[in-house]
Amino acid sequence: MAAKQASEKAQSPRVFGQARKPAKMFRAGLYARVSTNHQQTIPLQIRALREYAARRGWSITLQVKEVGSGASQRQLREKLLDAARRREIDVVLVWRLDRWGRSVADLLATLQQLDHLGVGFVSVTEALDLTTPAGRAIAALLAVFAEFEREILRERVRAGLAHARRNGQQLGRPITAAAKAGEVRTLRRAGISKAEIARRLQISRTSVRRVLA
Catalytic residues: 35
> Which residues does residue 166 pair with via DSSP β-bridges, in sequence order?
none
**How many Cα atoms sit within 13 Å of 72 on the Cβ side?**
13
Q: From its phi and psi, is residue 153 left (phi > 0), alpha (psi between -120 and 50) or beta?
A: alpha
Q: Exposed, middle or buried, 92 (CB in 10 Å: 0-12/13-18/19+)? A: buried
Question: In degrees rounded to 5, what are phi and psi of residue 114?
Answer: -65, -40
CB 30 within 8 A of CB 61: no
